[in-house]
Structure 1
């Protein structure tokens, strides 16, 4: 996977997200989506409507993670650590992240965050995901990765991946991320720094999925911190 990480960093700084095309091949996407039918790889299932999260459902993967998901976690984390640490410094947050994902997970687990957070989401006609943030505990890595496993226009219609950004004393800014099958969106989990006339300040971001008009949509979420 060849990635222009400088371009990724520039897009994250400017928009709070970056799109990386063709992170997964179609066969890998279909294999990962097919896991959803089997409960064995997963630790829990969540029905969104039951909790007021929207409509649709998702399952959290269990350890050991499927090799493809584990590889994505390990490949992305060290590339995103410099951005995460720079963002925290700019926002005046004292926490810094270690260079390896194993070291960061050890920190999470020592604090009682031991449940894996990578997940697969499934949407059918009429389903959607409300705007939210994936926090899960005290230790939060400020970036995560979302991979679209289905092909828009073929497998489903509607179901756009959306984000909002809330700056102080301003109305929310909407963003629609144009993903195709196998594309990844690297997104801010919670806050990101924006340079103002008096220095950097924090803006708040949320993400979700608009209503699916037809078909079925599957997504993989790669979150780097574990859950309490």
Structure 2
């Protein structure tokens, strides 16, 4: 299995079919207007349990991060190693082309020269040419009192401007608290917060760093950060799909 492998053929077909079933014109509008958009029930409950169950299996991961040691918040996460688990690799490849179209539109509106190829493998080639070869999809685990500070996942000179987080646990049953939060800072204005309600298997696509906003004199950039509020009870698992690789 090569570094560009995106999973078994069955996983790829399933991921592509599910992703194609959403209204991407509407989702692109949500992303452009609010900086985030939700695809409900992207994963089944059984798939969520299977992915969450990988957390204790160290062989799937290249590193283990305790947030408090780095000032990131409180909680922990593990970065997957290559080859990625089939389902995660398949959805990384299936979601990318839909989001690349949004990213290219945004960069054109913001006057940014960078354009993203239509297929994820070609984008990974660009990452690797710049020395960014380490996979970035990750599995996060929170217990009571844990939280994730507002941040941006950039990792290198070449960073894809959108990413996806999939909630693997069921709110109200597996945990309470732990809401996904997105903040947006516009020039000379107070920050705006967006709390995104998710159920088990739901995915939220969101802007990592900037998005364009139409002003009276054309489009301008706003700055975004994301995080997770304090977990009140239980345990919460999330898988993060980041599309660029890291140095």
Which TM bucket (shorter chain)? over 0.9
Please state whether the residue corresponding to 1:141 is helix, strand or coil: coil
Q: If the length of structure 1 is used for normalisation, what is the TM-score?
A: 0.99
Give the one of 195, 216, 229 matched to 1:210.
229
- CA-atom RMSD, angstroms? 0.4
Structure-1 separation of matches of 2:211 and 2:107? 8
- CA deviations 1:78-106 (Å, max 9, x no partner) are 11111110100111100100111000000
Structure-2 separation of matches of 1:78 and 1:14? 20
Give the one of 101, 125, 139 matched to 2:144.
125
Structure-1 separation of matches of 2:96 and 2:195? 24
- CA deviations 1:128-158 (Å, max 9, x no partner) are 0000000000001111000000000000000
Give the equivalent residue in structure 1 for 2:112.
93
Structure-2 separation of matches of 1:185 and 1:97? 21
5+ residue gaps, structure 2: 1-17
Please state whether the residue corresponding to 1:40 is helix, strand or coil: helix
Aligned pairs for 1:1-228 within 5 A? 1=18, 2-228=21-247
Structure-1 separation of matches of 2:218 and 2:200? 39
5+ residue gaps, structure 1: none
Structure-2 separation of matches of 1:161 and 1:115? 26
Structure-1 separation of matches of 2:112 and 2:25? 23
Structure-1 separation of matches of 2:199 and 2:230? 17
Instruction: Please list every run of at least 4 consecutive aligned residues from structure 1 whose deviation after the TM superposition is greater than 6 angstroms.
Output: none
Structure-2 separation of matches of 1:215 and 1:173? 29
Q: If the length of structure 2 is used for normalisation, what is the TM-score?
A: 0.92
Structure-1 separation of matches of 2:93 and 2:30? 21
Structure-1 separation of matches of 2:217 and 2:44? 45
Structure-1 separation of matches of 2:120 and 2:105? 17
Structure 1 position 26, deviation (Å): 0.2
Q: How many positions carry a matched residue from both structures? A: 228
